[in-house]
Amino acid sequence: MRVGPDLAAAAAAVDLAGAVVDEGVRHLATTGDVEVDQVLAYDLAHSAAAIENARIVLDYGSLGEAEARIACAFVADAVHGVATRTLWREASWGIQPGALDGAAGFVRGYRSPEYLAELCGEQGSRHLDGDFELVQDTFRRFAEDEIRPLAEEIHRRNLDIPERIIRGLAELGTFGVSIPEEHGGFAASGEGEYLAMVVATEELSRGSLGVAGSLITRPEILARALLAGGTEEQKHDWLPLLASGEIMDAIAVTEPDFGSDVAGLRTSARPDGDGWRINGVKTWCTFAARADVLMLLARTDPDRSKGHRGLSLFVVPKQRGKGHGFELIQEEGGKMEGRAIDTIGYRGMHSYEVAFDNWYVPGENLIGGESGQGRGFGLQMQGFENGRLQTAARAVGLMQAAYEAAYDYATNRKLFGQPLLDYQLTQTKLARMAIIIQASRQFAYRVASLMATAPWRTRAAMVKAYVCPAAEWVTREAMQIHGGMGYAEEFPVSRYFVDARVLSIFEGADEILALKVIARHLVANAR
């Protein structure tokens, strides 16, 4: 007998799981310490993200029968995830054993193999309005026609992104989707300011994460920093160039000994006449060779005890380079050297270690001018918050590509005389993949719609914390459905798998987001 959706029961299950998470947060806030009780804080952060996602999916479930069935399946999955984190750790959470027993019947029914198998092939509507459907269609066509035909060769041979891809994206207005119209972009205030970026990013990432899905990220981060703290002259000078794609940028923040601990970085900027001299080394500077400018965070106050309060942000012009290494010499006597870091995936843009030796930067390129000194950490975080949301969109696009590849393979591959798609295990895997993808997409849409509201900025960390590990699972299962051919480089699903691995690392490593952003926010609001 087919089980119909029950959104009232789903809501009750979410409320029960949410109450368990809230109790765990209160327990941590009153008896523990985020820095000491890190496993609990990490589990609470991820559980809170899953429950936030489930609440959003409940709204999605009200839009139709298929949507309701997807919502019930996702809620059951999310509540089950909370239950596995609490099992036999109830004392650490400050809850009673069996605290989630009231949701057991719901989870049992809507996470059952029979229910999931019936959902196989159902992806659900995205429910975008006409303007954003146009954005989706435009970028999907470009990804299909221009990106996918090149993606495998670029990955296998570790090539540079072709200039025609960059030019084509610039002509579509890609780099101006989040830059206000008064500064040469296409963003209007309101919920569409972020949503267009999310929709475009998903479609480009479905084509290829390394070739196109991440090209928006760097101008997005620099633009947000300029909008948050740049002088009017800086906004006038740089934002139209970013929006048109006339200049491309890279982000130079991380250092070899200071990854997520940005406040400890050592790269220095010392005054020199009307400008500054940069000395130090940056790493994981993606797209550094091709970029025309770097958004660079450097220490302008030599007193290291000031931590992040001694950091300032610069726009650093440079010449373009190619391939896996570059060396640049300035007329002013500065030197910049870049060495590509080979990676297992996410190829095309290349990540670099970049060394600066007395590299000269004009004084007017200090973001915020004189008043920008010491504000660099906060300004770069303005961009990174949005980068986290965009990373979630990248993950959704990558998952969608992996799901489509797996579904197609399962449809056409025969095993023991029948299509692989006819087997219950395959059906449940594909159904759960589609459910997680749609839920992740709706989470990203909601956060994008409310991103301008300060309390929702923490949700950007939450959506990344949920969606990026989910992308690893989805791409892994897509690869597994391909069997031995999934491990072969003949099928793009192997690329999806290695590309997904980077998502939980960049734009804020998963552990740092969970402990330093989400858990701290939860505990602060519980007190």
Please write down the long-range contacts of 375-378, taking CB distance under 8 Å and 24 or more positions apart.
Answer: 375/229, 375/312, 375/313, 376/297, 376/298, 376/300, 376/308, 376/311, 376/312, 376/313, 377/262, 377/263, 377/297, 377/308, 377/309, 377/311, 378/228, 378/229, 378/308
Whole-angstrom distance, CA of residue 185 vs CA of residue 201:
16
Residue 389 near residue 460, CB atoms below 8 Å: yes
Whole-angstrom distance, CA of residue 314 vs CA of residue 230:
10
Residue 519 near residue 34, CB atoms below 8 Å: yes
Give, in order, the Cα–Cα distances in Å from 276 to each of 271, 358, 393, 406: 5, 9, 37, 53
Number of residues assigned to the chain? 527
Active site residue 507: yes
- Based on the number of CB atoms within 10 Å of its own CB, is 260 exposed (0-12), middle (13-18) or buried (19 or more)? middle
Residue 5 near residue 57, CB atoms below 8 Å: no
Task: List the one residue out of 129, 213, 174, 244 whose CA is nearest residue 390.
Answer: 213
Q: What is the largest CA-CA distance in the chain?
A: 80
Task: List the one residue out of 279, 443, 460 whose CA is nearest residue 359.
Answer: 279
**Catalytic, out of 52, 182, 507, 511:** 507
List 296's β-bridge partners, or say none.
252, 314
Whole-angstrom distance, CA of residue 99 vs CA of residue 243:
52
For residue 421, which amino acid is it? L
Task: Reduce the secondary structure of 480-497 to three states and give it as a string.
Answer: HHCHHHHCCCCCCHHHHH
What is the crossing angle of helices 192-207 and 424-450, to 10°?
150
Structure tokens at 295: 């958004």
Active site members: 507
